[in-house]
Structure 1
């Protein structure tokens, strides 16, 4: 060849679809693309709903035919958690004839954060659309909310005429929460979710908690992305108290005697503010901290079943 140097071609080298030789960087890209494709295929087989531009993971557990109570529990988890928080109570509730729907809120666990911040009101709107898409009748729905999810459940009862509301270790929004959650955001930005996983399981559980309980909580925290977790910290920090007095739904509040995250005073304030024309109750779980469905699954399930029985 005149005027050019002919390089020998090694035919053992892989050639990409573009016709050029693959190098180590191309191999890394191919592996990443394969992983992404496998993840998308797995995701396609799992229960997700496209809601308001987000892909939300959910579970639905139904009772055996002929045993249906007519009540559906819509279960909304708290910060750093997921629908799996309720997996300890769902079998017992379903066995009693109740349908249970739990979902990962946007930015939590399998419902990955897409960068669109919606705050607490955004989660409420997601819950309303989920009820619509699953053809649930609001008058048959009992909204169950834990911690941050209690704010959502309370606001949901203002938009829809629900059968009832269960608040578990409810967060009652107030200006004093902003510095706490802003500090948490800074910690996660600096050190990632492991900083939360190393502290919260021991700090936020009660005297009856076990190593297994704390390991479960740790796994929930490590299933979060920093971006999603921090978006929900901001949601709590920005939240305004719901107009509890306008709710028309019967209320049960479950509080842990050892709950330092959402102390009894917060639950009592919500109870006092709730609509006086509907039935309300506050029940305390002895030796339980902030992760009630993990620390005292049977007790929580039994109290929710008793509450549901009064609504039928």
Structure 2
């Protein structure tokens, strides 16, 4: 399994190069998730010409916990993001592996950081941003995502 050292942190990643030249999409899972959430979406995007990089943030999936949120914040350095939450049918497929592979301290650290975070300056984002929400998602509602990204997708 591939790991990258990013600012001294070990980060698990899944890299799928495009079949032709195109943009690179960077996938970040939601709280309690893993890179696995995005696996069903990636083959079609690769076929459409996008390279896809999905990571497990520290303490989730296969990335070890790295003592706080600094490791998570420092991993994000690619301009095109796909962000998500945990309540989709795709996600339900991975619940068992997530429970077994998530670190409780990492979960609590990330939850606290979200609670304490200032409102992001979404208007300052200068690159196209695709927001994906699950139809049954109780965290990332489509109405809220409409205020953030350029394109919005509701997944059944």
* TM-score, with length taken from structure 1: 0.44
Q: C-alpha distance in 2, partners of 1:248/1:283? A: 20
The size of the alignment, in residue pairs, is: 156
Q: C-alpha distance in 1, partners of 2:26/2:39? A: 13
Map 1:1-312 to 2 at 5 A: 46-64=1-19, 68-115=20-67, 117-118=68-69, 122-128=71-77, 141-147=79-85, 204-205=87-88, 209=89, 214-268=92-146, 270-271=147-148, 280-285=150-155, 288=156
SS where residue 108 of structure 2 aligns?
A: helix
Unpaired runs of at least 5, structure 2: none
For the 8 Å contact 2:84–2:140, the answer to whether it is kept is no
Greater fraction of residues in helix:
1
SS where residue 101 of structure 1 aligns?
A: strand
SS where residue 74 of structure 2 aligns?
A: helix
Q: C-alpha distance in 2, partners of 1:92/1:282? A: 17
For the 8 Å contact 2:84–2:133, the answer to whether it is kept is no
What is the CA distance between 1:213 and its match in structure 2?
5.9
For the 8 Å contact 1:112–1:228, the answer to whether it is kept is no
What is the CA distance between 1:284 and its match in structure 2?
3.4
Q: C-alpha distance in 1, partners of 2:2/2:72? A: 18
Greater fraction of residues in strand:
2
What RMSD, in angstroms, separates the aligned Cα atoms of the two structures? Answer: 2.5
Where relative contact order (Cα < 8 A, 6+ residues apart) is larger, the structure is 2
* TM-score, with length taken from structure 2: 0.82
Q: C-alpha distance in 2, partners of 1:215/1:248? A: 34
Q: C-alpha distance in 2, partners of 1:96/1:123? A: 29
SS where residue 64 of structure 2 aligns?
A: coil
Q: C-alpha distance in 1, partners of 2:5/2:29? A: 19
Unpaired runs of at least 5, structure 1: 1-45, 132-140, 148-199, 275-279, 289-312
For residues 254-284 of structure 1, what are the alpha-carbon distances to aligned partners after superposition, in whole Å with 9 as ceiling and x for unaligned? 333432222334224x24xx7xxxxx33343
